[in-house]
Amino acid sequence: MYCSESLGTAVDHFEPLNHAPRRVFDWYNHLLGCSFCNSHAKGGTFPRGEDGEPLLIDPTADEPVHHLRLSLTSGEYHCLTPRGCATIDVFQLNRGPLRKGRLDAVGQCLDTLANCADLLAVDDKAGAQKRMLRLRRQPLADVLQELRRIADRPSAAVVVGDEAALAALRALYGQPVAEPVFFPRQTARHEPDCRSWKTAPS
Ligand SMILES: [Zn+2]
Ligand SMILES: [Zn+2]
């Protein structure tokens, strides 16, 4: 899934058939996508860097958080690498409906977290866990993932705006993330004309 707007309605050939006709039945070349990302946005586009390696992020092999950063205040993805940039462009990840949907999802996450904080305050951990589980099954789970990623940082209080809700997020998200939290060196806003992947070596 690229936009994570739905549970997936189409099967995407990661390496399109016009590029790799022999991979038509290759299991690892089959990804679940939505019809917009698959047919309308990506189509047969499959950019490669100068070294010939694919530029699009492969969700079966790459860690998207190393290439993309979701802004919870604008609902936009920012690019951290040329590969992130290419993926945003090709899948149009900052298209209007997705940005609006992500902002709605942020509001919904924060409402649920505040609600969970109330339940935790009266020792109803099971009730809070149930609400959290429901939230995790919602589309646009990338929003919740980003909230979790920033939960331990001082800036999280600014985004969440409620210490109790933040504590609920830390307590309920499940096991602590195994990997150390990844901090990019710099975050650049992805502009429609940034296209750093068109010139960058990798
Ligand atoms: Zn999609
Ligand atoms: Zn970019």
Q: Calculate how far, in angstroms, residue 79's C-alpha sits from the geometric centre of ligand 1.
A: 18
Q: In this structure, is residue 162 part of a structural domain?
A: yes
Q: How confident is the model over 123-178, as pLDDT tens digits?
A: 999 999 999 988 888 888 889 989 988 888 888 888 888 888 888 888 887 655 44
Q: In this structure, is residue 28 part of a structural domain?
A: no
Q: In this structure, is residue 135 part of a structural domain?
A: yes
Ligand nearest to the CA of 12: 1
Q: In this structure, is residue 6 part of a structural domain?
A: no
Which domain, by its residues, includes 119? 97-172
Ligand nearest to the CA of 142: 1
Q: How confident is the model over 42-58, as pLDDT tens digits?
A: 888 898 988 999 999 99
The two beta strands, 30-33 and 10-13, are antiparallel
Q: In this structure, is residue 66 part of a structural domain?
A: no
Residues whose CB is less than 8 angstroms from the CB of residue 44 and which lie 6 or more positions away in sequence, other chains included: 16, 17, 18, 19
Q: How many domains does the chain have?
A: 1
Q: In this structure, is residue 141 part of a structural domain?
A: yes
Quote the tokens at residue 185. 């060196």
Model's pTM, two decimal places?
A: 0.81
